[in-house]
Amino acid sequence: MEIKKLLALLLAATMTLSLAACGGGETSAPESTTPAETGTTETTPAETGSAGGNLVGVAMPTKDLQRWNQDGENMKAQLEAAGYTVDLQYAANDIPTQVSQIENMVANGCEVLVIASIDGEALGTALDQAKAAGIPVISYDRLIMNSDAVSYYATFDNWNVGVKQGEYIVEALDLENAGDKTYNIEFITGDPGDNNINFFFDGAMSVLQPYLDAGTLVCPSGQTEKQTVATANWASDAAQSRFENILASYYADGTQLDVVLASNDSTALGVANALASSYTGAYPILTGQDCDIANVKNIVAGKQSMSVFKDTRDLAAKTVEMVDALMKGSEPPINDTETYDNGTGIIPSYLCEPVVCTTENYQELLVDSGYYTEADLAS
């Protein structure tokens, strides 16, 4: 009896393993998966089964942040309109999930992979498999580091995103004419495993550092280093609690907070929540990036000063052009061969242009262009 049971168990285990190896099993949700993300596998069995030489794998980091939903939807729609079949997967910000999704894409016969990585250093084995299978990899928005499997990079001009945030602050406070006047500033950026923070944060600092050096900008918390002001997973709640601490420790005596450099909207949202709960002084200038709906509402309500708009329709369109060229054996569009070295050499890139969004132009930029409807932005 015991031996029979053991054999049955072994058989079951072998079947599970071989199913997983074929990629036929459903993507299992890791424990950290939020309910909203369980079942976010957007591949239908028909799609995975129809690898007729035109299957494109699109790996997105998470559904938690609005922009990745838009990126995924835009790319899927545009790729399908161009005649491709799409295996679109979201990984709930869980690295092992993303690795196995990419492994399945390789096993299922995807001919091009488009990957927005959770952690740009953590996809090693999956990328090796793609390379061994001769599948080109397009790094999407975030650069995948230290892998020679990466063929192209489609993104926005990330340095310029930071520069625009820095310039906005300089102009809003008229720092060039500040004289002896000083302003208090605090900083927050995103996930340390996201190569983009090196461009967002360093780009902003390239504009702001001279004013810190001159003493025109003062950081009461002393937290000015990128690693210190980073936010795991770009999480709003982590941003909120860090700022609640900062406000309690350095501003509770009535010290005025004049400006917060936040690298993106999810962190800016956390800062705005902390300000709402723990700060009564004059509202500071607060930057952001992405024009997420909650943040555009905050801009309209005077709780965030600006966001940097990165039109995901443009990035998706450019990526689709890249995929199409790779599928047809022609040269993908690139406009930068200098900026993005992933540790194995320069990755040929296409950089889309980011645009500053404020109360002045959000209507034209976001509503008139059809990115959002009036109803999306209604409070």
Kindly state the smallest distance separating residue 194's Cβ from ligand BGC, in Å: 5
Residue 194, phi-psi category: left (phi > 0), alpha (psi -120 to 50), beta (remainder):
beta
Burial state string for 266-281 with b = 16 or more CB within 10 A and e = fewer than 16? bbbbbbbbbbeebbee
Kindly state the smallest distance separating residue 66's Cβ from ligand BGC, in Å: 9
| Dihedral (Cα; 204, 208, 213, 217), 10-degree rounding | -130
Kindly state the smallest distance separating residue 223's Cβ from ligand BGC, in Å: 20
What is the edge-to-edge ordering of all strands in the sheet holding 259-262? 217-218, 183-188, 259-262, 285-286
Kindly state the smallest distance separating residue 267's Cβ from ligand BGC, in Å: 8
Kindly state the smallest distance separating residue 230's Cβ from ligand BGC, in Å: 12
Tokens describing residue 249? 């420790």
Nearest-CA neighbor of 220 among 261, 186, 263, 243? 186
Taking CB under 6 A as the criterion, the residue among 41, 89, 184, 289 binding ligand BGC is 289
Nearer to ligand BGC, 197 or 247 (CB): 197
Taking CB under 6 A as the criterion, the residue among 196, 240, 287, 307 binding ligand BGC is 196
Percent helix, percent strand, percent coil in the chain, to nearest 5: 45, 15, 40
CA 183 to chain centre: 30
Taking CB under 6 A as the criterion, the residue among 109, 162, 166, 190 binding ligand BGC is 190
Taking CB under 6 A as the criterion, the residue among 103, 157, 244, 290 binding ligand BGC is 290
Nearer to ligand BGC, 310 or 318 (CB): 310
Give the number of residues in contact with ligand BGC, rule: CB under 6 A.
13
Write out the binding residues for ligand BGC, residues 116-145 only, by CB under 6 A. 141-142
Nearer to ligand BGC, 23 or 354 (CB): 354
Which residue stretch of 81-89, 167-175, 190-198, 341-349 sits at the interface with ligand BGC (rule: CB under 6 A)? 190-198
76 near ligand BGC, judged by CB under 6 A: no
Taking CB under 6 A as the criterion, the residue among 152, 168, 234, 279 binding ligand BGC is 234
Nearer to ligand BGC, 104 or 289 (CB): 289
Check residue 83 and report its DSSP letter: T
Kindly state the smallest distance separating residue 164's Cβ from ligand BGC, in Å: 13
What's the burial of 220, exposed, middle or buried (CB within 10 Å: 0-12/13-18/19+)? middle
Nearer to ligand BGC, 129 or 160 (CB): 160
What's the burial of 325, exposed, middle or buried (CB within 10 Å: 0-12/13-18/19+)? middle
Taking CB under 6 A as the criterion, the residue among 65, 91, 299, 365 binding ligand BGC is 65
157 near ligand BGC, judged by CB under 6 A: no
Q: Hey, how many other C-beta atoms are within 10 angstroms of the C-beta on 168?
A: 21
Write out the binding residues for ligand BGC, residues 242-271 only, by CB under 6 A. 264, 266
Kindly state the smallest distance separating residue 243's Cβ from ligand BGC, in Å: 17
Check residue 364 and report its DSSP letter: I
CA distance 239 to 231: 6
Q: Are 150 and 347 in contact (CB under 8 A)?
A: yes
Check residue 250 and report its DSSP letter: I
Nearer to ligand BGC, 48 or 289 (CB): 289
194 near ligand BGC, judged by CB under 6 A: yes
Write out the binding residues for ligand BGC, residues 31-50 only, by CB under 6 A. none
* Torsion 309-97-237-208 (CA) sign: negative
Tokens describing residue 266? 């999810």
Q: What are the residues binding ligand BGC (CB under 6 A)?
A: 65, 67, 141-142, 190, 194, 196, 234, 264, 266, 289-290, 310
